[in-house]
Structure formats: structure tokens, C-alpha cells
């Protein structure tokens, strides 16, 4: 069936039903005629914006046509989104299935700015670029595409809606300029107005064509019968042969105007076209001489012309030719915006997606594993063992040296371990040390010690594997069986226990402990394996059963096969009654106790849930509470206490006692009738989950540490009846020692990856430095790449700037800047990183042991992360069950917040990285290679990563000779004395001080020198700060760099050393600005010890900072690209350099950080009246500061500074008032709600009821209003006390509580 016939069959019914107009049917037929056209491109002009917008939302052209190029019928009734959802999506798939011949169309919309659904300029350019390279073949456009946009030639242009004007008709027809292209108008048959418009448009077109032929040279179109041939004078056109682009005398002036508008300039810069007119009037007597001076090339164009009235046209045509020859114009005779063969072409994403290279652009990447860890030996035992076969492994002892001391004896009571690898590791692993933050006052320094190869039998290997799985399943809390767990040969190593004795290597392995642990029958009891709380259903986050897909789904899967499920499975908050545990025969010895012991334990013995044990042997062991599934280290046996002792109150609770004794507590809460009430209780503390010990978790200020030392070191214990506890087969010291292993192996695995990457790069530097460059700050470890990234960023900017400056001597500063951006942008660096696979080496998330994959023990994930609580001492244990001990100290395993990171997947093999992280790592690697190996090493890495920069020695291009008249006008002696250097090429110095407002024949302005000088100074100052402050955190180093490298600071340097007096410019306005700024700076310098480092109260003219950078560029070039001489000159000029002690904080930033810390809403409101900008600062809706300045940014800075002064005064007054009243107040925190709660407890009232009255305001300044009331015993409910609007819920509740307290004080005098 032909395409046209097919359309009639499919759409005919829709036309008959009135869903589709015949016009749409005709349009589809037209398009089908072009399905075999090579390099098809088409534009459809529509009148309505909504028609052009629908296409990309639907994703197919036919659906778009079917629901409405005639959509104007619906515009008054519904939105385009409604049309899409109600019709287009229903028809798209069906029509495409029946009309596959239209699949050659790839559609996009093109609309303008002046509508509600506007497109940004970058989006328009992106769409046009896609149309140019074929990713889009059809544009549905409004009138915006009729002119002004560089759209490639089309095969067909269709006016679906008739043009409103003749001009629109002619402009849209101009889009069909490709030879053999078609211009199609869709008219309504029999519509007289349409026919009249077409007739008038054709007549106007013919008139304009004749006029254009008379005025324009068309010699290049001779032989074309469609045009009238005319004779032209030689040199009246310039044509590019490769593209056919033509510029004539008539179009040259406009093209030069357009070119000049694209040049970097400001309001004070000299206008090239205005200067053309001046020169023409000066030489009018010649009637044949014209000159044009363009500041990009600084070449004087002299053109002789025989036509007395065509001077401007002739000189501009010659300038166009020259600009094309030097590369300023492309082959399409358009200004070159800086794209080059070195620029990496990166496609932008659609509007909805974050752009690559940004922090919001995040993707999944596989987590890398070092190749040296691979080994098939880990699979031995899967198909049986052969005792005659020996396996050769390499043993590495883990050596721990503690620094500091702890009052907690458990911290130092840990077992020793070794790691068995299948291959010998690189020697750099031995030189690496790591700090484990074990306790608040103790750090353990860990290293690997190679103890040589060992050979073991296959059966022994299987035993070690079983031990490894049993141990790590408990440490990581993952229930796996050694016989069934999967082993991955890509990550092969084992943890083995060792005993400290200087004998044969084999004898140092603690085989007795290995066999004792793997052979015990205790593992048959589910309460002794991992996640006993899940088995019992007492884990409130997993609701009595586990939701994970591997390892712990036995209860759920058992239900599917008819097995009896746990009674509490799936019931939120349910508590397992002990009779259920008893019925499951998990505590078989209780029946014996009931019949034989009669509640009296043997002397010196303790009756446990499954055995009778010597009381002295229990200390230091781990027990599992059969009633809750929690595990505890046994600290001591309390012979002075038993189950009949009174149960303690909750801390801070003032009400009546809940339980009279421990026995009553267990009976009421768990349904346990204790049998041995007279035997001593045992005191234990929860076995914590495995922690990330690589992060310094205990850092705090000295003041805070001093005030809260007792609270931080307090350890909470629980008193347990022995008869409810099962002795665990793993010793406590073994588990505590094993809890360090995940953190140790995380660092070792990262180091091995760094060593592997070092081998790929092929330049010898310490692998530890590469690891630093691969570690993001989000890991929260003791090192990260941010310092190296700062240095690498500056070095990369300098190298690329130097390369572009020398390679393209004719390109102006704007072009060079765009080219540099294309070469070093985060988007490009991100692609370089991907091309080398750096994503597999990067450490970008805080280490979470629960998500770490140990060999044979793969992680699994709950829907609710269990790391909210760090202890098995779970939430169902009441505070009253805990006994605080002031004389005992924490081992550092106290509760932590949930461990954050960038991992978001449900598998340890994948993690999420932002593309900006990849780009930052590239810069950080450049930085560490520069630090360790200098320029040679950094250049080697840049070449390896793919940055296209030629590092071979390059010669400085010769500069044109400066006329003597200009040389005599410059006071070189004074200027060189101020700089303390003599120039070899003084023309460079002249160029460095020449502003664009001062046109001079033979002298360029300073903009190109500023481009390279800016990069040189940035690199030199960053390098100085990096090496001068080696211990400074990355954030402070960034602040130092920002304070030292900025235009405001450089401008003050220029004034201080009187460089501004040598500036060559031609603007009176600029002269006034400089004079006023010099006066303000002199006032600043008159203040003793004052140095604003660019954060002063006066805004500097940009030109003053520019000439400092351009002079640096001139010195750099004059000394054969030697940065050492540049620094020798500028170090004294920049003194005093900013230091951490003198670093000022920007008032806007200081105010923002203060409001964030105190949860206060910050808002700026700016208005402009004439030339004055007024900025107001509001905090929590109250105006705090205000300032006025001609410049908005300066007004904002002054307003923030005024607000800070007011806030500090209020804080001082508040502290004085608190001291007088004797009330305890800490910053913004108040205790009004706690006071109200205490009153309710004392008077035995119900707790207060809070209610949100109102919530509103913008996202950055939310306001909450709360009310509170309380039900008193004698007066009933109080009135609702409504507080003030506050930026946080806590503050809003406090505000309401204050009012209620005042009411209660009046009633009761409390």
C-alpha cells in the first residue's frame, strides 16, 4: 500500500468523525512525498505557540498532528497539558504502528521569548544545533524562525498557517533557499481572502526582487535565468569558495557592525565603527582613502576606492576579507565565537535533566575492585576437598598501636587478626598507616605487616572460610550459612584469628578457636545467628519479619510453603511473648529449671537460658536475650541485686512507679515468669553495630567537650536476669576486634585501587597521594581531594590559557575565554574521567559497614535503614531499663546518626556519583601530580587523561613595533621602578596599560594580556597559599584564595603602587571613577592595620584590576614564559598577603551562616530608585538592616554588615538580661516546653497539646505558628495560646509555650 493511500485509510475515519481536519490530512500527504529525500530538513510555520510546544512533549510527530495543529479551537477551553494527557498519548502508538513510513521525521519545537512558555536562548541554540546535525529533521516554529537565527538550509518550508503580513511571508520564504527546495503555502480552497493575500504577496515579492537586483551585486549568480545579470566592478564582493558564503559592498558594513558587537567591551570601550566615520571625515578631501581600526587585530586597514560615496562599504569589505583570513570569521562569514578543534563537543541534556558536569547530574556506576584481589582459590571447597592439595596464600598481620588511653577496659580487650590474600600485595600497602577513631580519647594506628606465604590444605581452607563467614555474619549482622553463601572470585581474602607467639607461621593461626567456633551446635539456634530480633519480631523497623530479598526472608518464604509463621510477624510494634519462644524450644533448659532448681541457683553458678555456667566465666562474654533478641557484652555480675529489687524510674520521670520490681517488669512486658528470682542479675551493655572508624566521630570544641564531658562519657547499662540469656559462641574480644576489620579493609581496598590507577597513568608518585585525590569530602575521612583540586584547577587554567594565547595570536580575549571554557569545563572533564574509567576508583561516599561487601557475606538492604540506631539495645527497651553509671566510660560505640553517603542503590556493587565529582577528581589528580612531580608530572597526567594541550616548548609570538610617539608618552622609568623590573620588549608594557577606550595605531589594548596574566596570577597565588598553609582545611584555603585573587584586591594593589597613573585610556567617565576610587582607598589605608582584601566599602573600577593582570601577562611573555620571575615581581606588590588570621569573611556569607546555624529565616529585598539601589535585610520577617548604594551588590554587602552589628548588639543585651534573671539560656535554645512538661508531671496533668495554626511563606523563609493548651484537673482545658510566627516548628512551639506558662503563672503562681 502506498503512503498516500495508507493515510487515506487510517485518517479517513478520523476526518469523517470530525476529529481531524482535511488540512491535517493534506499535511501528512505532503510530508510523505519527502520520505526518500536525502538529508531531509523541513520547517513548518504555525501561528499558535501551543502548536509548536506540543511536539517534544508527545515524542512523535503524528500524534501531534492528530490532536491539533488546529488546536486553536481548544485554546479558550483547556491547557495544552490537558490536551496531551487526554488525547495525544492515546493515539501516538497506534498511529505510528500503522504509519511506519513517517518514522523519518524527528521533530522539535522552536518558539520565542515573549510568551508564557518561552524558550531560553541556550535551548533555542541547542534545538538549532540538533536541526543542523540531523538529530532533528523537522522544526515546528512560530515567527521566531522567520529571521535572525542561523538555521541551516531546508528541503521544504511549509506555512501551515498563512502569514499575517507580507514581510512574514517573504521572510519565511527565505528559509527555502537551498537549491531545489520547496516553499508550500496551505490555503483553504475557495477562501477569497487567502487568494487575495497570496496575489498581493507575489506582486510585492516581484517588486522587491527587481529592486534588490538593481542594488546588489549578483555576478556570482550569472547564468541563472531566474535573475537579471548586471556588470559589477572588480572587488565589490568577497566569496568563500568552500561554503559559497558571500559578502558584498552593501552587506559588509552591517557584518562589521555585527562583528564589533560581539567583541569583549564595556560602556567605556572605544567603538570601532564610530572611529571609522571620524577617519573618513578626516580624509574626505582624497575622495578615495578610508581607514578602519579594529581592536581585535589592531591592524589599520587602508583601502583605495574609486567610488566617492562607497568609502565605508569598501573599507568594511576589505576588513571582512582580512578577518576571514586571520580566522576571526568562520567560512560562513560569521564571527568566530571561539569554537575550535580542541573544544570538546558536549550535547546538552533536555530542559528537565541536569546538565553533565553539575552536582545535580548523578548516575549509577559500578564500584571498583582492585584486580590483585581476584582469586579463584576462594571457590575451593564448593565441589569437595582434597587433603593432599595445598593452597599457597600470603599472610598479612594487622598491627594496631593505640594512642591515648580510655577508662573503658573493653576498648583494649580485642583479639588480633590476620588477612590471607591469594597474591602478594604491592610494597606501598605496607608503608600505609591509617587511624581508627576507636574512642573519644584513643586512636588506633593500624598498618599491615607481611609475614610471608603459608600453605594450607583444602580442608583447612574450608574451615577458615566457615570461620570467616560465621564471624562476619555477626559483625555485619547478615544471616548467611557457610555452606550456602555465594563466593565471588573478584574479591578474595579471608580474616583469620591469630595468637601472639613467636613460633612457626602456621602455629600463629588460632586453629583451636577456629574449630571451636565452627563446630559448636549453638549456630543451630536462630537466636544465636544474625538478626535474632528479626526472628522474634521484636525489631520495630522490620515489623516482626525481614523484608530483605536474600538471607533473612526465611519467615516470609516459610509462610508461602505452609510453615507456621511467628505470631507477631507483620504486626507493627508487636512484642514477642516469651511463651512463644519457649514453645519454639529455643530455650530447652527452662523445663529442667522448673522441676529441679525450684528457683534456687547452685552456689557460684548462674542459671542461663540454655545452660548453667560459672559466674566468673560469664564476664567478658556475649549473651543473647531470648526475650528480645538483643545482644549484650557482660560487664559484671551484680551479686547485690536480684529480680526482686525495685525497678528504677525513668530518668527525669516524676510520676508514679510503673513496675515494682524487675520480675514484674518482665512479667508484664514480655509475659515471662522468672523462676530464679533470687539469683544475681547480670549487667550488660548493648553490642553495637559495626561502625565506620575512619571518620573522626568525636571531634568537638574544647568548650563543648568541657561542658558535656560527663554526659558524653556516660555508658548505659541494662540489668538482665541470667535465665533469659543465652551465651553466644563468639567471645566478646573477638567480636570487638572484628568490628575494626571492615574499616581497615575499606582503606586497603581503596589503596590497592590507587596503586592500580598509578600503574595505568605510568608516572611514579606516592599512591597515597593518588588515594587522596580520589577521596571526596563526603567520605568524611581525615583527607580529601579538595585542597589538591584547588591547586589543580589553577594549574589547568594556566596551562590551557598559555596554550591558547600562543596558538591563536589573532583571537581576541572573548574568543580565548570561550575556548578555554570549552576545554576545562566540568562537562568536558567529566567526559575525560569517564573515558579513562575513573568512576571505578573514586571514593565518594561515607563508609557504611552495613553496605560493605565482605567475601562470602554480601550486604542486603532493608526498606528502612537500620543504622538509625547503632546498638542492639533497641527502642523497645525502656529508659527505665537502662542504668546510667557515672563511673563508667564509653568505648566509643554510642549511638550515631544514620550514616550518610551517595550510595542510593540496593546493591553494594553500584553507587551514585555526581558528574561534578568526576570532574573534581580530574583537577585533584592534576594537583597531586603537580605537587609530587612538578610541571612534568602534571603535564604527563593531563596528556594521559586526554586534555589536548601541546606541552612542547612554544615560542612567544613577536609583537608589532610601537610608534615612537607613543613610546615617548609613557614614563617607563617610573613604571618599571614601581614594578622593580626592566622590560626587554617595552611594547608589551605599553599594551598592558592601554585600555580599549584609547585607540592607537599599532598598539593593541590589554585584553589578551589580561587573559593570560589572570591565569598566571591565579596559579602563582594558589600555589603560594597551598604550600604556605599545609594544614589549612580546604574550605579555609578556598576562602584565602578568593580573598587574594579577585579584581577588588588587585585594584587596591594598583592604587597602592600607583600603577593607575600610567593607564592609557580615552574616557572621562573612567577617569572620574578612578579618581573617586583612589580617594576611597586612601581613606581605607589611613586606618591603622586595615586591609579589606577586596571586601571594602567601595567598588573598584574593573580596569584597575585588569591592568594588574595584564602587567603580569606582559612580564610572563617578556621573560620567555618564566613564572618564577613573575612571582618575584608580584610577591612584594601583593604584600601584605592575606593569612588565615587576617582573612575577612564577607558580610553576606557571615550573615547567611549565622542564620542557618540558628534556624532563622533570612530574606533580602532590593528596590532601585533612579541610580540608587536600596537593600533591606529581614530576619524572621523583621527588618534588621538597610543600606543604599549605586551598585546593588555593594548595597547588599553594606546592609548585611549593618544587620550583623544590630544582631551582635541584641545578643549582648540578651546575655546581660539572662545573667540578671539567673535564667539558663544557650544561644537560641530555650527550655520553655520542658518547663511546661515538668509542671504537667508534677501536677499529674496530661501532656500539653500543640497544634499548627498556620504555615506559610516562601521556601527560603518559611513561617510556622503554633498554639498549645493543657487539660488541668481543676479548671479543665485552658484556652489555646497562640505563639508568634517563627522560622521553625521548635521555635513556634516554644513561643506558644511561653504564653501558656504566663497564663498558668497567673492561675497557680507556678
pLDDT tens sequence across 1010-1036: 999 999 999 999 999 999 999 888 888
Q: Confidence band (pLDDT; 50, 70, 90) for 875?
A: very low
Q: What pLDDT is recorded for position 63?
A: 46
**Average pLDDT over the chain, rounded to whole?**
77
pLDDT in tens, 388-401: 889 999 999 999 99
Show the CA angle centred on residue 640, arms to residues 634 and 645, nearest 5°.
Answer: 95
Which cell numbers hold the place of 1292? 513556634
Q: What is the pLDDT of residue 835?
A: 94
**pLDDT higher than threshold 80 for residue 1202:** yes
State the average pLDDT over residues 919-923: 96
Lowest mean pLDDT among 124-138, 489-503, 694-708: 694-708
| pLDDT at residue 705 greater than cutoff 60 | no
The whole-number average pLDDT for the span 669-680 is 85
d(CA 161, CA 165): 12
Q: Report the helix count and the strand count for the chain, using DSSP H and E.
A: 45, 32
Residue 914, phi then psi, degrees to nearest 5 = -80, 145
Q: Give the DSSP H or E segment for 1069.
A: helix 1068-1085
What's the pLDDT score for residue 909? 66
**Please, which pLDDT band fits residue 35 given cuts at 50, 70 and 90?**
confident
Query: What grid cell was written down for 119?
Result: 524558550
pLDDT at 1189: 83
Average pLDDT of the segment spanning 424-448: 91
Mean pLDDT across the stretch 597-610? 74
pLDDT score at 607: 87
Spatial distance between the Cα atoms of 468 and 483, rounded to a whole number of angstroms: 12
pLDDT, position 584:
66
Beta bridge partners of 1182: 1179
Q: Does residue 844 register a pLDDT over 70?
A: yes
pLDDT at residue 901, as a whole number: 34
Within 13 Å of residue 244, how many CA atoms lie on the same side as its CB? 8
Question: What is the number of alpha carbons within 13 Å of residue 605 lying toward its C-beta?
Answer: 14
Position 548 confidence tier, pLDDT thresholds 50, 70, 90: very low
Place of cell 566457615: 466
pLDDT at residue 1310 in the model: 56
The set of residues, in sequence order, having a beta carbon less than 8 Å from that of 1157 and lying 6+ positions away, is none
Residue 652's SS3 state is coil
What pLDDT, on a 0 to 100 scale, did the predictor assign at position 292? 57
- The whole-angstrom distance between residue 584's C-alpha and the CA centroid of its chain comes to 51
Q: What nine digits make up the cell of 345?
A: 563537543
Q: Which helix (H) or strand (E) holds 1099?
A: none
The CA distance from 686 to 477, in Å, is: 14
> For a pLDDT cut of 90, what percent of the chain falls above it?
30
Q: Is the pLDDT of residue 419 over 90?
A: yes
Instruction: Tell me the range of 179-188, 330-339, 460-469 where mean pLDDT is highest.
Output: 460-469
pLDDT digits (tens, 9 = 90+) for 1266-1302: 999 998 878 888 888 999 888 888 888 888 988 888 8
* Packing angle, helices 22-32 and 61-68, rounded to 10: 160
What are the phi and psi torsion angles at 447 (to 5°)? -145, 160
Provide the pLDDT confidence category of residue 133 given band limits of 50, 70 and 90: confident
Select from 332, 416, 261, 1275 the least CA-distant residue to 812. 261
Kindly give, in sequence order, each residue whose CB lies less than 8 Å from that of residue 1139, ignoring residues fewer than 6 positions away: 1040
Beta-sheet strands, E only, within 742-810: none
DSSP lists the bridge partners of residue 393 as 454
Give me the pLDDT at residue 676, please. Answer: 85
Q: What is the pTM of this model?
A: 0.71
**Distance in angstroms (rounded) separating the CA atoms of residues 1044 and 1025:** 9
- pLDDT confidence of residue 652: 55
**Looking at per-residue confidence, does 1190 or 800 come out higher?**
800
Q: What is the pLDDT of residue 317?
A: 83
Q: How confident is the model at residue 228 (pLDDT cuts 50, 70, 90)?
A: very low
Residue 1100: pLDDT band (50, 70, 90) is confident
Angle at 412 between CA 408 and CA 414, to 5 degrees: 125
Q: Is the CB of residue 929 less than 8 Å from the CB of residue 945? A: no
Using the predicted structure, report yes or no on whether residue 907 has a pLDDT greater than 50.
no
More confident residue, 140 or 250: 140
Neighbours of 54 (CB within 10 A): 25
For residue 884, the model assigns a pLDDT of 35
Pick from 720, 730, 738: which is nearest to 522 by CA?
730
Lowest mean pLDDT among 5-19, 630-644, 928-942, 1228-1242: 5-19
Neighbour tally for 79: CB within 10 Å: 11
Q: Is residue 167 pLDDT above 50, yes or no?
A: yes
Q: Judge whether residue 28 has pLDDT over 70.
A: yes
Distances (CA, A) of 104 to 57, 739, 1167, 1235: 18, 61, 53, 74
Q: Residue 1287's closest CA among 1200, 1204, 1179?
A: 1179
Compute the average pLDDT of residues 598-626.
83
Q: Determine the pLDDT at residue 1116.
A: 95
Provide mean pLDDT across the span 750-768: 95
pLDDT at 614 over 70: yes
Burial zone of 427 (CB within 10 Å; 0-12 exposed, 13-18 middle, 19+ buried): exposed
Please, what is the Cα angle at 1097 between 1095 and 1102, to 5 degrees?
A: 70
Mean pLDDT of the 1076-1092 span? 74
Q: In terms of pLDDT, which residue wins out, 742 or 1245?
A: 742
In this prediction, residue 543 carries a pLDDT of 33
1293 Cβ partners below 8 Å, 6+ apart? Answer: 1233, 1250, 1266, 1268, 1283
| Measured distance CA(815)–CA(808) in Å, rounded | 10
Q: Summarize the confidence of residues 810-821 as an average pLDDT.
A: 89
What is the C-alpha separation between 226 and 219, in angstroms, rounded? 13
C-alpha distances in Å from residue 794, one per residue of 237, 389, 930: 46, 58, 11
| Residue for grid cell 536462630 | 526
Considering only 841-855, 1076-1090, 1242-1256, which range has the smallest mean pLDDT? 1076-1090
Amino acid at each position: 500500500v502506498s503512503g498516500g493511500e495508507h493515510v487515506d485509510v487510517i485518517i479517513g475515519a478520523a476526518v469523517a468523525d470530525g476529529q481531524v481536519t482535511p488540512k491535517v490530512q493534506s499535511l501528512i500527504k505532503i510530508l510523505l512525498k519527502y520520505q526518500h529525500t536525502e538529508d531531509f530538513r523541513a520547517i513548518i510555520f504555525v501561528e499558535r505557540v501551543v502548536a509548536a510546544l506540543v511536539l517534544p512533549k508527545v515524542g512523535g510527530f503524528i500524534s501531534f498532528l492528530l490532536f491539533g495543529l488546529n488546536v486553536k479551537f481548544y485554546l479558550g477551553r483547556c491547557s495544552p497539558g490537558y490536551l496531551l494527557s487526554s488525547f495525544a498519548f492515546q493515539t501516538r502508538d497506534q498511529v505510528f504502528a500503522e504509519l511506519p513510513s513517517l518514522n523519518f521525521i524527528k521533530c522539535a519545537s522552536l518558539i520565542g521569548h515573549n510568551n508564557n512558555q518561552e524558550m531560553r536562548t541556550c535551548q533555542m541554540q541547542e534545538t538549532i544545533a540538533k536541526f543542523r546535525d540531523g538529530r532533528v529533521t523537522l522544526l515546528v516554529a512560530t515567527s521566531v524562525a522567520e529571521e535572525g537565527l542561523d538555521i541551516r538550509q531546508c528541503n521544504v518550508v511549509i506555512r501551515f498557517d498563512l502569514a499575517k503580513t507580507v514581510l512574514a511571508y517573504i521572510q519565511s520564504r527565505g528559509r527555502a533557499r537551498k537549491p531545489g527546495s520547496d516553499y508550500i503555502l496551505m490555503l483553504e480552497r475557495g477562501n477569497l481572502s487567502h487568494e487575495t493575500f497570496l496575489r498581493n504577496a507575489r506582486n510585492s515579492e516581484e517588486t522587491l526582487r527587481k529592486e534588490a537586483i538593481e542594488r546588489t551585486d549578483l555576478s556570482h549568480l550569472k547564468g541563472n535565468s531566474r535573475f537579471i545579470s548586471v556588470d559589477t566592478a572588480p572587488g565589490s564582493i568577497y566569496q568563500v569558495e568552500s561554503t559559497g558564503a558571500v559578502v558584498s559592498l552593501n552587506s559588509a558594513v552591517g557584518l562589521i557592525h555585527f562583528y564589533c558587537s560581539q567583541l569583549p567591551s564595556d560602556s567605556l570601550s572605544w567603538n570601532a565603527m564610530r572611529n571609522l566615520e571620524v577617519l573618513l571625515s578626516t580624509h574626505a578631501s582624497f575622495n578615495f582613502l578610508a581607514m578602519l581600526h579594529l581592536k581585535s587585530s589592531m591592524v589599520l586597514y587602508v583601502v583605495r576606492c574609486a567610488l566617492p560615496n562607497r568609502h565605508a562599504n569598501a573599507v568594511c569589505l576589505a576588513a571582512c576579507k582580512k578577518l576571514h583570513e586571520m580566522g576571526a570569521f568562520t567560512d560562513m562569514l560569521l564571527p568566530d565565537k571561539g569554537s575550535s578543534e580542541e573544544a570538546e563537543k558536549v550535547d546538552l541534556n533536555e530542559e528537565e535533566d541536569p546538565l553533565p558536569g553539575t552536582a545535580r547530574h548523578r548516575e549509577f556506576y559500578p564500584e571498583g575492585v582492585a584486580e590483585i584481589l581476584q582469586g579463584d582459590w576462594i571457590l575451593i571447597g564448593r565441589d569437595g576437598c582434597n587433603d593432599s592439595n595445598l593452597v599457597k596464600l600470603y599472610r598479612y598481620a594487622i598491627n594496631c598501636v593505640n594512642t591515648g588511653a580510655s577508662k573503658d577496659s573493653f576498648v583494649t580487650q580485642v583479639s588480633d587478626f590476620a588477612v590471607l590474600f591469594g597474591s602478594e600485595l604491592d610494597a606501598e600497602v605496607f608503608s600505609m598507616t591509617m587511624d581508627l577513631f576507636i574512642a573519644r580519647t584513643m586512636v588506633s594506628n593500624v598498618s599491615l605487616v607481611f609475614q610471608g606465604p603459608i600453605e594450607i590444605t583444602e580442608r583447612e581452607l574450608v574451615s577458615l572460610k566457615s570461620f570467616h563467614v560465621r564471624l562476619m555474619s555477626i559483625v555485619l549482622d547478615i544471616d548467611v550459612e557457610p555452606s550456602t553463601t555465594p563466593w565471588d572470585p573478584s574479591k578474595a581474602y579471608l580474616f583469620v584469628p591469630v595468637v601472639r607467639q613467636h613460633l612457626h607461621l602456621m602455629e600463629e593461626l588460632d586453629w583451636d578457636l577456629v574449630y571451636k567456633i565452627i563446630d559448636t551446635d549453638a549456630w543451630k539456634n536462630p537466636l544465636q545467628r544474625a538478626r535474632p530480633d528479626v526472628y522474634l519480631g521484636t525489631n520495630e523497623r522490620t515489623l516482626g519479619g525481614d523484608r530483605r530479598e536474600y538471607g533473612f526472608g526465611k519467615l516470609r518464604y516459610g509462610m508461602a510453603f505452609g510453615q507456621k509463621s511467628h505470631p507477631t510477624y507483620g504486626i507493627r510494634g508487636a512484642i514477642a511473648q516469651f511463651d512463644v519462644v519457649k514453645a519454639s524450644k529455643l530455650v530447652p533448659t527452662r523445663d529442667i529449671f522448673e522441676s529441679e532448681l525450684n528457683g534456687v541457683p547452685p552456689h557460684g553458678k548462674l542459671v542461663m537460658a540454655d545452660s548453667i555456667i560459672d559466674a566468673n566465666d560469664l564476664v567478658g562474654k556475649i549473651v543473647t536475650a531470648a526475650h528480645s533478641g538483643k545482644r549484650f557484652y557482660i560487664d559484671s555480675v551484680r551479686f547485690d541485686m536480684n529480680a526482686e529489687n525495685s525497678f528504677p524510674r525513668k530518668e527525669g520521670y516524676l510520676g508514679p512507679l510503673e513496675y515494682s520490681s524487675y520480675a514484674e517488669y518482665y512479667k508484664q512486658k514480655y509475659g515471662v515468669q522468672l523462676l530464679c528470682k533470687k539469683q544475681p542479675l547480670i549487667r550488660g551493655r548493648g553490642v553495637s553495630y559495626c561502625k565506620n572508624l575512619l571518620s573522626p566521630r568525636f571531634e568537638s570544641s574544647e568548650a563543648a567537650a568541657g561542658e558535656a564531658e560527663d554526659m558524653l562519657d556516660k555508658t548505659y547499662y541494662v540489668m538482665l536476669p541470667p535465665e533469659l540469656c543465652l551465651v553466644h559462641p563468639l567471645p566478646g574480644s573477638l567480636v570487638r576486634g572484628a568490628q575494626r576489620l571492615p574499616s581497615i579493609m575499606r582503606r586497603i581496598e581503596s589503596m590497592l585501587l590507587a596503586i592500580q590507577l598509578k600503574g595505568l597513568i605510568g608516572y611514579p608518585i606516592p599512591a597515597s597521594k593518588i588515594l587522596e585525590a580520589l577521596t571526596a569530602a563526603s567520605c568524611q575521612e581525615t583527607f580529601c581531594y579538595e585542597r589538591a583540586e584547588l591547586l589543580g584547577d589553577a594549574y589547568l587554567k594556566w596551562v590551557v590559557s598559555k596554550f591558547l594565547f600562543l596558538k591563536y595570536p589573532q583571537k581576541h580575549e572573548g574568543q580565548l575565554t570561550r575556548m578555554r571554557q570549552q576545554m576545562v569545563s566540568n562537562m568536558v572533564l567529566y567526559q575525560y574521567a569517564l573515558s579513562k574509567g575513573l568512576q571505578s576508583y573514586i571514593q565518594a561516599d561515607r563508609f557504611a559497614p552495613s553496605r560493605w561487601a565482605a567475601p562470602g557475606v554480601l550486604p542486603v538492604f532493608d526498606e528502612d535503614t537500620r543504622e538509625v540506631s547503632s546498638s542492639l539495645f533497641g527502642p523497645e527497651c525502656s529508659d527505665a531499663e537502662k542504668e546510667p553509671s557515672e563511673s563508667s566510660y564509653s568505648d566509643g560505640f554510642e549511638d550515631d546518626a544514620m550514616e550518610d553517603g551517595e550510595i542510593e542503590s540496593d546493591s553494594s556493587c553500584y553507587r551514585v556519583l555526581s558528574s561534578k565529582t568526576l570532574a573534581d577528581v580530574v583537577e585533584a589528580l592534576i594537583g597531586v601530580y603537580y605537587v609530587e612531580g612538578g610541571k612534568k608530572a602534571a603535564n604527563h597526567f593531563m596528556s594521559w587523561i586526554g586534555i589536548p594541550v601541546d606541552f612542547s616548548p612554544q615560542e612567544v609570538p613577536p609583537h608589532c613595533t610601537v610608534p615612537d610617539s607613543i613610546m615617548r608618552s609613557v614614563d617607563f622609568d617610573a613604571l618599571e621602578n614601581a614594578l622593580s623590573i626592566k622590560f626587554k620588549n617595552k611594547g608589551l608594557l605599553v599594551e598592558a596599560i592601554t585600555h580599549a577606550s584609547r585607540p592607537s595605531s599599532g598598539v593593541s589594548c590589554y585584553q589578551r594580556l589580561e587573559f593570560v596574566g589572570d591565569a598566571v596570577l591565579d596559579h602563582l597565588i594558589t600555589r603560594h597559599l597551598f604550600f604556605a598553609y599545609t594544614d589549612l582545611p580546604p574550605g579555609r584555603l578556598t576562602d584565602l584564595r578568593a580573598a587574594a585573587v579577585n579584581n577588588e584586591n588587585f585594584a587596591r594593589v594598583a592604587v597602592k603602587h600607583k600603577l593607575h597613573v600610567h593607564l592609557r585610556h580615552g574616557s572621562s567617565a573612567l577617569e572620574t571613577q578612578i579618581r573617586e576610587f583612589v580617594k576611597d582607598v586612601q581613606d581605607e589605608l589611613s586606618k591603622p592595620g586595615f586591609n579589606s582584601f577586596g571586601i571594602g566599602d567601595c567598588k573598584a573600577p574593573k580596569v584597575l584590576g585588569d591592568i594588574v593582570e595584564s602587567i603580569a601577562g606582559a612580564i610572563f611573555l617578556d621573560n620567555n614564559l618564566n613564572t618564577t620571575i613573575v612571582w618575584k615581581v608580584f610577591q612584594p606588590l601583593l604584600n601584605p598577603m592575606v593569612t588565615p588570621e587576617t582573612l575577612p569573611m564577607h558580610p553576606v556569607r557571615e550573615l547567611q551562616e549565622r542564620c542557618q546555624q540558628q534556624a532563622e529565616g533570612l530574606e533580602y529585598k532590593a528596590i532601585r530608585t533612579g541610580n540608587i539601589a536600596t537593600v533591606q535585610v529581614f530576619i524572621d520577617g523583621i527588618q534588621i538592616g538597610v543600606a543604599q548604594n549605586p551598585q546593588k551588590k555593594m548595597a547588599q554587602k553594606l546592609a548585611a554588615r549593618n544587620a550583623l552589628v544590630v544582631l551582635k548588639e541584641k545578643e549582648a543585651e540578651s546575655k546581660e538580661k539572662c545573667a540578671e534573671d539567673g535564667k539558663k539560656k544557650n544561644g537560641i535554645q530555650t527550655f520553655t516546653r520542658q518547663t511546661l512538661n515538668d509542671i504537667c508531671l508534677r501536677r499529674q496533668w496530661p501532656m500539653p497539646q500543640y497544634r499548627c495554626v498556620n504555615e506559610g511563606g516562601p521556601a527560603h523563609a518559611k513561617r510556622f505558628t503554633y498554639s498549645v493548651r493543657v487539660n488541668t484537673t481543676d479548671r479543665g482545658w485552658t484556652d489555646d495560646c497562640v505563639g508568634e510566627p517563627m522560622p521553625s516548628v521548635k521555635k513556634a512551639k516554644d513561643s506558644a509555650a511561653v504564653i501558656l506558662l504566663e497564663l498558668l503563672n497567673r492561675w497557680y503562681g507556678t
